A = this chain, B = another copy of it.
Amino acid sequence: MLEKLKQEVYDANMRLPELKLVTFTWGNVSGIDRNKGLFVIKPSGVEYSNLKPSDMVVINLDGKVVEGNMNPSSDTPTHTVLYNAFPKIGGIVHTHSPWAVAFAAAKLDIPALSTTHADTFYGNIPASDPLTKEEIENSYEESTGKVIVRTFKNRKIDYESVPAVLVSQHGPFAWGETPGKAVYNAKVLEAVAEIDYHALQLTRDNINVPQYLLDKHYYRKHGDKAYYGQESAMSNIHAIHE
């Protein structure tokens, strides 16, 4: 069942240690088959070196296990909420990558300070509100998804052009058209968090990039007029590496 998607999700999970985005098992990737309304996700707490494609667990859009011998990631309800709320995404990744978690712990957006950011994120990567006591105590992982969705709605951020969030006090979630693209976005997020941290220590000036630079760099790589890469706008949809 969904063997090809399981392989794709497995491959994307294995990219996390390669890209130095995880310590131990602190990360998970899922990918969805929109036609079937099913997604597959890494099992909970299994070491990357022991993981196999067949370990991936199949989940429906109500968050129920449809196939699999292992417990799915404990973050499965968060993925379920996001797949329901963000209909155009094909993959989701969660990590505890250290630069991103530092911003999440500080409850601060990762601001758009350079073209490295603008190439992938069309504006600040938002830090969510912290979850309330009630949200944490009741259906915590589902609440996490809901807080993410609420953050994008309240701040009028487009989830397609800003494909990541920091859950305050917790860490980053990123998504994309495919599981591989979600992992790519998670790595860009970590790279810009590192850059921004240092830039913010170097100066107290307002160094946010202007809107016209965001426009230029984002649309150089995305949309109809993209001209980066080998296949115009299509290339950044299919390639794990931009």
A interface residues with partner B (beta carbon < 8 Å): 23-26, 43-47, 70-71, 74, 96, 98-99, 101-108, 113-116, 130-131, 133, 136-137, 140, 169-171, 184, 187, 191, 194-203, 205, 207, 209-210, 212-213, 216, 220, 227-230, 235-236, 239, 241-242
Contacts and interface: CB of A to CB of B under 8 A. Distances in A.
Contacts of A47: 241
Given A74-B228, A108-B202, A170 B210 contact: no
Centre residue among A115, A191, A197 by max chain B CB count within 10 A: A115
Given A195-B105, A213-B131, A241 B24 contact: yes
Nearest to A132: B212
Nearest to A212: B133
B98 A207 contact: no
A45 B239 contact: yes
A210 B236 CA distance: 41
Contact of A171 (B106, B116, B130, B140): B116
B107 A44 contact: no
Contact of A24 (B46, B96, B99, B187): B187
Given A114-B170, A115-B169, A170-B115, A106 B203 contact: yes
Contact of A74 (B108, B209, B227): B227
10 contacts: A25-B242, A45-B239, A46-B230, A71-B229, A74-B227, A105-B199, A107-B203, A136-B216, A197-B198, A197-B201
Contact of A187 (B23, B46, B202, B216): B23
Closest 10 pairs (CB-CB, A-B): A45-B229, A102-B198, A105-B199, A106-B202, A105-B113, A105-B114, A106-B203, A115-B170, A106-B199, A133-B212
